[in-house]
Structures are given as C-alpha cells and as structure tokens.
Structure 1
Amino acid sequence: MNEEMLRRVLADEADRIEPGPGALPEIQRRTAAGDRGGAWRRWRRPAWSPPRFAGGRWGGWSPLAAGAVTVATLSVAAVVVGLASTVVPTPSDRVEPPPGAVGAQRSASATPDEVRPGPTPPDGAAAPSVGTGPGTPAAGPTATTAGLPVYYLGGDPGRPRLYREFHRLWLHDGSARDRVTAALRNLLDGPVGMDPDYRNPWPVGTDLREVTVADGVATVDLAGAADNDVDEVTARLAVQQLVWTVTAVPGISGLRLRLDGAPVDRLWGRVDTSGVLRRAPATEVLAPVWLISPQHADTVNRSFQVHIAGILPEATAQLRIQRGTRTVREQFVTLSIAGPAQGEAKVAVTLPPGRYTLTAYAISLADGTEQFLDDHTVMVR
C-alpha cells in the first residue's frame, strides 16, 4: 500500500466518523500508549484544547507507517491526522441542496453544483435575479442552472461575519469563469440576500465588468465601486465576501481585484487588495453559528431536517422553533466537532403545516445569554 493509497483510505474512513467533541485527550492517551484496539465511541467531553503537533508526528506515532492496521485503527488515525493539521478545516461549499426560492424546485438528491436544464419557476416564485442581468442566457434548451454559494455579511453591525446562502442561478456553459460570473452578478444585484438579515456592503450600482480565470486565480473587474464610506472591519469583510464567494467555485483558490480595469492596491483606503487575495481563516470571518437549511423563505414538507453549523469551543449549539410568539420546540444540538473547526449537525423535525421561525444560536459560557442568533422563516406544507 503506497502513501497516496493510504491517504485515500484514511480520508474515506474519516468521512464516516462523527467523533464527540471531547475525543482529543483520549486519542492522545491511546496513541501514546500504543493502544490500537476498540471501536470508536463518544467520549465524555472535556474543555477544548488545541492539538499538539511537532516534527511531522502526532504523539510519537506517524499514521503513514500504519499500512497494515485494522479499519478501526485507520478510523482513529484519520481523526488524529485531521486534528493535528495546522490548517483548520473550513466548511464545504458544495454540500447543500439548492433552494427553491430562486427559481427551481428543491430536489432532495440534488447537489448545489449539479447542472440541469433550466427550470420553469414554480407559481409564486421569483425567477433568478441573475436571469435578467447582462449576458445571462434566456431560459431554453441550452440554458442550464446550478446552485452556487453566495456569501453575505450579517450579525452584529459592529462586528459583522460572513453567512452563506445557496442560490440557483443561470449558467452559459458551467465553466469556472461562468460560475464566478453568475455568483458575483447575483451578489451585487441587491443590498440583501434571501434572508433580509444578510447584507451586501458593496456600493449600490457596483457592476461586474469582466471575469477571467487562469491558473486557479479569478481576476474580477468591478465598476462603480471606487468609493465607499464604510469602516475598516466592514471593508475587510466586503473583500472576504468576494473571496469566499469566488473560491467556492471548484478549481478557484484566489482572486485578483481590479476597479474599472486597473489594479487596486488599497480598497476604499482601508484594506490591502494588492496581489492575489486568499480566504482568511474561518475563525476570523465566518459567523460562529450558521442555520444552513432550511434557508429563509423555503417551503418544506412536514418532516424535514434542520442543518446547523458552528465554530464553538464546546461544540454545542441551540435550536428554537417558534410559531408566531409560541415556542414549539427548543433543544441543544451537539455539533460534529468543537472549534476552531466548523462542526455540523442535522436535526430531524416534524411539524404541522404553517409558518415557523427557526433560530440557531449559542449560549454564552460567561453569562448564559443568547448570542450569534441566525433565524429563518419557513413554510411547512
């Protein structure tokens, strides 16, 4: 078994594991003691602490030397490799079905980057806003759509963070350039996302002039964005809003920004935009709690799943469901992993038909207050 094959096996096994947020100290104890036996179990959760990693080895043991171990050992090794990495895992941008609210019926088996024939919008639903933009194909036999991630600012105006929505948008040919163009035109199309709590800080009238892609870097040329009276925090998040949206497209890892055809070294006099721009660490720019789905204004069946993500030290989020002012369900939700990685969880819910507000949030460890609230209003049919 060569190194590349072993890496693939480790990655495959890791994808099947949902470790408890407190498993790290026990993993350290067992690997140091040479303990290779036993099935994966949920451990009692201690306070989170960062993993130790030095000299390319974890606790004196290298998983790449374990070619003949059992599947159970590979599972533990895969988790150890993931925890030991110096790169904090960031959320997948291609794991959630696209919403029906932007021009296509939701498919339970669809993935956001799946391309299918252009849909006819359901009764009462708005066609994709990008469908009326310049250079967008009219619906027809050659038009296709895809569910693309688009990022917005939200949360505390004094300390905004990024939130993500999936929008089903028209495409020409499905290329990386095509997807970047569609996502950015949609982002710049209005001041808010589907959730009115998510906002777009770019100046009204900002337009996408051109997108080119070469060597994994998208060069984005904007017009009408030379001036914007925002603070430094908002300016930095506005740049990261573009970067995270663009680099959600497969094959794109960086962005070069131009204004009116010329490079810009410092955007709005507040943030460095010279060279190739990359994603900032998730812990610095993403909201600590996301309500991924259902998305705001979605219509769902009576039985559905609530998908929550969070970067939380104790890997514990909260879910509240209200009908009007009455709370019909409230519970804690254990995420798949504790911060600084982004953990996720799905909660099965069954509700009578009606309009509901779903709120994901965290409880402050300091004073017990609710924080990082993300709420969506949905219709249960």
Structure 2
Amino acid sequence: MAAGEEVLRRVLAAEADRIEPGPGALPGIQRRIRAGDRAGARRWWRGPGRALPRGARGRWGGWSPLAAGTVTVATLNVAAVVVGLASTVVPTPSERPGPPPGAAGAERSATPVPTVDDVRPGPTPPGGPVAPSAGQSTGTQTTAPAATTAALAVYYLGGDPARPRLYREFHRLWLHDGSARDRITAALRNLLDSPVGMDPDYRSAWPEGTDLRDVTVGDGVATVDLAGAARAGVDEVTARLAVQQLVWTVTAVPGVSGLRLRLDGAPVDRLWGRVDISGVLRRAPAMEVLAPVWLISPQHGDAVGRSFQVHVAGILPEATAQFRIQRGSRTVREQFVTLSEAGPAQGERKFTVSLPPGRYTLTAYAISLADGSEQYLDDHTVTVR
C-alpha cells in the first residue's frame, strides 16, 4: 500500500511540474472569468466517455485509471490556482450606474485588469480601493507601486446656456503614485472622456475628440498638451469657460496654481481664435466663473442613509439660498438656507436632513429680488436607503 502511495505521489508531482502558466496567461484567465466564458473549461473536460486532454497520455502508452486520476487532480489544482489568482485582483473599475462620471458609457462592464502602467480613471470598485502590486519578470523580482484611488475635483459647465458657470464634482479616480502629475492626468482624462458629468445637467466645454497628450509639472505650474481641440469651433462664451474649466480642474490639485496650455505639442497664443492662452493661465475670480448657487453634496446619483448631510454654496448678495426636497411631483420640504458669507464671496452652509427610504430630488436655488422668480437652480436626484 505504501509503495502504491509513493507511486501516486511521484505521478502527481510529475504532473504538477508540467503545469507552467505563461507570463501572459493571467489577463486571459481574468477576461474569461469576467465574461463568464466556460470555453476553457470545456476544452479541459468534455464529459464522460469523451477524449481527455493529451496530458493524460504519453508516458503510459495509453489510457489508464491512474493517468485519468492524475489529470483530474491536476485540473483541480489548476482551477484552484486560477481562483486564487482571481481573488487577489481588484477588477478594472466599472462605470457608475446612471450618468457616467466623465467617462463614456452608462452600463457596467468588466474589462481586463490593467497593469500599473495603464490604470485608467473610474470610480472605486466594490472590492476596495487598492489594486495589487505587480512584479517584473526580469530575473530579479521588483515590486511596482500599488495603484490606489483618490477623490479628485472635476469642473463642468452648467446653468443658463446663455451664461453658463462652473460646477464641481468629486470623482473617485485611479492613480499610479499620487503625484501632482498623476492626479492632473487622471482628472483631465476623466473630464475629456465624456461630454457630461455624473449630473447630466453638467457638461464639458471641450469638443468631442479632444485628447490628453501629456502633462508635466514644475514650480507649481502644470503644462498640459491637448490633441484634437484646435480642429473644432467654439463660441466666445464657451471658449472662455472651457479654459477656466481646465484651469480650475488642474489647480484643484494641491501645489499647482497655474497652467500652460499646449495644442498638438506646440504653444499657441489663442484658442479657437477667441481666447488668449499665452503664458501661465490662472483662475478667474470666483464671482465671474462659479455658479451663483451650487448643491455640492449629495452629488447626483448618490445613495445616502436616512440621515445625511447637505452642503450648499452660493455667491449671493443677500447670502440666502433656498432648498427644496421633492419625491416625484410632491414637495416634501422647503426651507431657507443662510450662507456663511454674502457675495461677492462664496458662502457655504452644511445641514442635516432625515428622510424615509425612497428616491428624491434635492434642489438648491435663489429667489430673484427683482420679480420673485426662482433662478440658478441646481438639482440632484439621490436615493435614500
């Protein structure tokens, strides 16, 4: 009996030695796992009474129960390895349901796990914020920095189409190393990937097809090189806000206070023949470019608890905004919101709201001193759990 066990051990060891996953096998395994592909499994096992894989032949000159058992164990070992590898990998972030956070497509999709050299922006996946470190197969094993995520500010145009203003959303995006260049790259790619933000009322001023070529940072100034933007035509109001959309997004990164803009690799004095972009660009005064009333949080599409915090900001002469909660067409709550400062400064106010579970529309706005009409409306739809 002991001799038989020793023979079996040797056979199993020999078969285990034959398992040599190639260096590029893991992405393919992960793609099949995410896509629900069972073709690989079917190739390994085609059912009782049918051909087994060639690994069960050869050395014994034909089929035998021992060979079949060996293949079965080896197959289970491979499956265990695959499951173990898959469980350590955080999937590529999928798009958020509803209006996407600056990235095209509204449906969730599973894509191959990125390498740390090609982590694309996206919301934090359910599995957690940290992606695995990756080694390089060059003899000596080295560990690359772990990818992580951060909430980055991205600015959009919104409000009156004839006189748009900037609104900010925070998007949780993937980073390489967390440097200023890394953060700017993630935020701008996110901004340029889609014409709208999470809130469909927020839009990007940059024409479709505009792409980010490169970002460098030095002495507190970011140099951003865009491709494709010069081919489009934009009206003067949109052109001015497009520049400020870029400036405010870039300078939201700590340590960066200015922007140099390049188009297709070359410095340009005027953008679309309408806006001066020579030299270092700075933020325009808040009163000129930011929204007069702004529902900062919850953001559009958020799921919140029954008691949650509301954050309203505004640039209003009387420092008084309005806040309304609706469920369907029914108004659940309406109140004044006294901001911390009056215009031309931007005032803020945070307060707590409690609601039963359901879907609600939250609206921040102002009342016109001239005619009593509602103006500067900014609304977000949220789900209370």
Q: Sort the TM-score into its range (normalised by shorter chain).
A: 0.5 to 0.7
Q: Where do 1:151-166 residues align within 5 Å?
A: 151-166=155-170
Instruction: Report the residue type matching 2:369 in the other structure.
Output: L
What is the rounded CA distance, in whole Å, between the counterparts of 1:242 and 1:150 in structure 2?
9
Indicate conservation of the 8 Å contact 1:153/1:163, yes or no.
Answer: yes
Following TM superposition, by how much is the alpha carbon of 1:124 offset from its aligned partner in structure 2, in angstroms? 8.9
Match of 1:136 in 2: 118
Q: Where do 1:49-68 residues align within 5 Å?
A: none
| CA distance 1:227–1:123, shift in 2 (3 Å) | closer
* Counterpart selection for 1:228 from 218, 227, 232: 232
Indicate conservation of the 8 Å contact 1:176/1:213, yes or no.
Answer: yes
SS of match in other structure, 1:257: strand
Q: TM-score, normalised by structure 2?
A: 0.65
Which ranges of structure 2 fall in alignment gaps of 5 or more residues? 1-88, 104-109, 121-130, 134-145
What is the rounded CA distance, in whole Å, between the counterparts of 1:194 and 1:301 in structure 2?
20
SS of match in other structure, 1:226: helix
Q: TM-score, normalised by structure 1?
A: 0.66
Match of 2:297 in 1: 293
Match of 2:85 in 1: none
Once the two structures are superposed, residues 182-233 of structure 1 have per-residue CA deviations (whole angstroms, 9 ceiling, x without a partner) of: 0000000100000000001211111100000010000000001013222111
Following TM superposition, by how much is the alpha carbon of 1:122 offset from its aligned partner in structure 2, in angstroms? 9.6
| CA distance 1:128–1:346, shift in 2 (3 Å) | closer
* Counterpart selection for 1:341 from 325, 328, 345: 345
Q: Where do 1:300-339 residues align within 5 Å?
A: 300-339=304-343
| Residue 174 (str. 1) matches residue 178 (str. 2) | yes
More moved, 126-135 vs 248-257:
126-135
| Residue 187 (str. 1) matches residue 169 (str. 2) | no
Indicate conservation of the 8 Å contact 1:315/1:336, yes or no.
Answer: yes
What is the rounded CA distance, in whole Å, between the counterparts of 1:190 and 1:177 in structure 2?
21
Indicate conservation of the 8 Å contact 2:102/2:191, yes or no.
Answer: no
**CA RMSD for the aligned pairs?**
2.3
- Bigger relative contact order, structure 1 or 2, given CA contacts below 8 A and separation 6+? 1
Once the two structures are superposed, residues 62-86 of structure 1 have per-residue CA deviations (whole angstroms, 9 ceiling, x without a partner) of: xxxxxxxxxxxxxxxxxxxxxxxxx
Match of 2:277 in 1: 273
Indicate conservation of the 8 Å contact 1:321/1:358, yes or no.
Answer: yes
Indicate conservation of the 8 Å contact 2:102/2:192, yes or no.
Answer: no
What is the rounded CA distance, in whole Å, between the counterparts of 1:372 and 1:124 in structure 2?
29
Indicate conservation of the 8 Å contact 1:219/1:256, yes or no.
Answer: yes
Match of 1:207 in 2: 211
Which ranges of structure 1 fall in alignment gaps of 5 or more residues? 1-117
SS of match in other structure, 2:150: strand
* Counterpart selection for 1:378 from 353, 375, 382: 382
Aligned length: 264
What is the rounded CA distance, in whole Å, between the counterparts of 1:185 and 1:350 in structure 2?
36
Structure with max Cα Rg: 2
What is the rounded CA distance, in whole Å, between the counterparts of 2:198 and 2:95 in structure 1?
15
More moved, 270-279 vs 121-130:
121-130
Indicate conservation of the 8 Å contact 1:163/1:287, yes or no.
Answer: yes
Following TM superposition, by how much is the alpha carbon of 1:121 offset from its aligned partner in structure 2, in angstroms? 8.5
Give the number of the structure whose residues are more often helix, by fraction: 2
What is the rounded CA distance, in whole Å, between the counterparts of 1:290 and 1:332 in structure 2?
14
Instruction: Report the residue type matching 1:261 in the other structure.
Output: G
Indicate conservation of the 8 Å contact 1:128/1:170, yes or no.
Answer: no
| Residue 284 (str. 1) matches residue 288 (str. 2) | yes
What is the rounded CA distance, in whole Å, between the counterparts of 1:290 and 1:379 in structure 2?
19
What is the rounded CA distance, in whole Å, between the counterparts of 1:365 and 1:119 in structure 2?
53
What is the rounded CA distance, in whole Å, between the counterparts of 1:124 and 1:160 in structure 2?
27
What is the rounded CA distance, in whole Å, between the counterparts of 1:348 and 1:124 in structure 2?
29
Q: Where do 1:28-47 residues align within 5 Å?
A: none
Identity of aligned residues (%): 81
Match of 1:82 in 2: none
SS of match in other structure, 2:371: coil
Once the two structures are superposed, residues 161-190 of structure 1 have per-residue CA deviations (whole angstroms, 9 ceiling, x without a partner) of: 000000000000000000000000000010
Instruction: Report the residue type matching 1:358 in the other structure.
Output: L
| CA distance 1:301–1:120, shift in 2 (3 Å) | farther
What is the rounded CA distance, in whole Å, between the counterparts of 1:313 and 1:264 in structure 2?
38
Match of 1:263 in 2: 267
Instruction: Report the residue type matching 1:289 in the other structure.
Output: V
What is the rounded CA distance, in whole Å, between the counterparts of 1:346 and 1:188 in structure 2?
31
Instruction: Report the residue type matching 2:337 in the other structure.
Output: V
| CA distance 1:259–1:163, shift in 2 (3 Å) | same
Match of 1:365 in 2: 369
Following TM superposition, by how much is the alpha carbon of 1:119 offset from its aligned partner in structure 2, in angstroms? 6.9
Indicate conservation of the 8 Å contact 1:236/1:271, yes or no.
Answer: yes
SS of match in other structure, 2:183: helix
| Residue 241 (str. 1) matches residue 245 (str. 2) | yes
Indicate conservation of the 8 Å contact 2:176/2:182, yes or no.
Answer: yes
Following TM superposition, by how much is the alpha carbon of 1:371 offset from its aligned partner in structure 2, in angstroms? 0.4
